[in-house]
Amino acid sequence: MPIATVNPATGETLRTFRPYGPDEVEQRVAAADRAFRHHRTTAFGERAALLGRAADLLEEDVPDIARTVTTEMGKPVTAARAEAAKCVKAMRWYAHNAEALLADERPAGADVRDSGASTARVHYRPLGPVLAVMPWNFPLWQVVRFAAPALMAGNTGLLKHASNVPQTALYLEDLFRRAGYPDGVFQTLLTGSGAVEGVLRDPRVAAATLTGSEAAGRSVAAVAGDEVKKTVLELGGSDPYLVLPSADVERAAATAVTARTQNNGQSCIAAKRFIVHTDVYDAFLERFTAGMAALTVGDPMDEATDVGPLASESGRADLEELVADAVGRGASVHCGGRRPEGLDRGWFYEPTVLTGVAPGARIHREEAFGPVAVVYRAGGLDEALDIANDSPFGLSSNVWTRDASEVERCVRDLEAGGVFVNGMTASHPALPFGGVKRSGYGRELSGHGIKEFCNATTVWQAA
């Protein structure tokens, strides 16, 4: 895949970039290694000042970088501005909280003197240069939620970003440079995916984090396993959205529209499978379908646009194949299911609602990366949970109910890394983020995320 900015609203190639050659990659890996030796010894106050400065600069840049993001991957510019603002929030949160999150821990409620020690503690140390393989769908946020905690912990970062967002990738490197970070602390590797294995096998690279497809995760995990290196993987998702009889159906349906179509439907944590109790099924389906059909599809630079284009022509083709397969197996299309009229340029697809999807349909098991929703009818909570867990993925989940016992049952039994009750899934700097099953392993954000790339060192001391 060429490294290029291709506007998904028009299909026009705007800029192409020469990939870094082996010598340039080597220079950057060496710089990350050199920078780590100093950065790891800096005080938290110094690191916080640098990250705070980066946050200030990003806040100033929001209007411009939002337009770059929209140009490169197609999300509505309003959503791009919100993404950049969220990055500012996360940077400031880690700048303020990292020292406390990584403070030495004393054994809780344990007397270590029977081990021969007078004192014992756990001390957190950074691992070294971390390779981040990041996707195009949230090209700022996915990087910042890795970089902010990793740099505050004393690691250095090497970003291999998606090949269709090169200007965003270069902007991020420049942002940290302008903030005053020393050379080598954060760098972009403008390369194709073929260079990832060589970088990951380099003995100077300590660990890797990847957000992306299951196939990409398998590849990186296999190499890292062979090299015995730590990885964190955030892969696909096909999140269930349960609506039970006591739910506020009107609010659940309105929120469901946003939950499915956020980021043009191209989000791992977007709700994709709507599992509705039979008592409220008809009311929910009517409201949800009307809400999806009312969305404005069009130019993502237009402030009135709700849904922009898919990020690539191949992505739209994949989505069309999933819908065609479902319809061919008996599914009904309640709205959408086609390319919108009047938008012949670019890779647009109408918000779509499907029902009657057969268990053998591909979309029943595969992630639909675009504004296509599948609605299932469930006879009770047991059946709803069975449908929800009948997926290879387990990223997050949503439950709508006013019944406290149903909440606790869902918290216990849903196979997911998160359970969001009476609201849509969202990430927050203070809360851990990640999944189970084929959605990956490890956690980002919160104290859990900052410790993923730290050496939890036992310090045992005798009198």
Active-site residues: which are they?
234, 268
Tokens of 197: 């294995």
Reduced to 3 DSSP states, what percent helix, strand and coil does the chain have, rounded to the nearest 5? 45, 20, 35
Which positions ≥6 away from 34 have C-beta within 8 Å?
184
The answer to whether the CB of 274 falls within 8 A of the CB of 291 is no
Pairing, β 372-378 against β 271-277:
parallel
The answer to whether the CB of 398 falls within 8 A of the CB of 259 is yes
Q: Which of 410, 440, 431, 428 is nearest to 240 (CA)?
A: 410
For residues 119, 120, 121 and 127, what is the CA-based torsion angle, rounded to 10 degrees? 130
Q: Is 458 helix (H, G, I), strand (E, B) or coil?
A: strand
CA angle 366-371-377, nearest 5°?
65
Tokens of 55: 């946050």
What are the b/e assignments for 54-82, b being 16+ CB within 10 Å? Answer: bbebbeebbeebbebbbbbbbbbbbbbbb
The answer to whether the CB of 116 falls within 8 A of the CB of 193 is no
Measured distance CA(341)–CA(444) in Å, rounded: 40
Q: In this structure, what are the phi and psi dihedrals at residue 410, rounded to the nearest 5 degrees? A: -70, -40
Amino acid code (one letter) for 285: L
Q: Which residues pair with 459 in a beta bridge?
A: 121
Q: Which residue has the tokens 């929910």?
A: 284
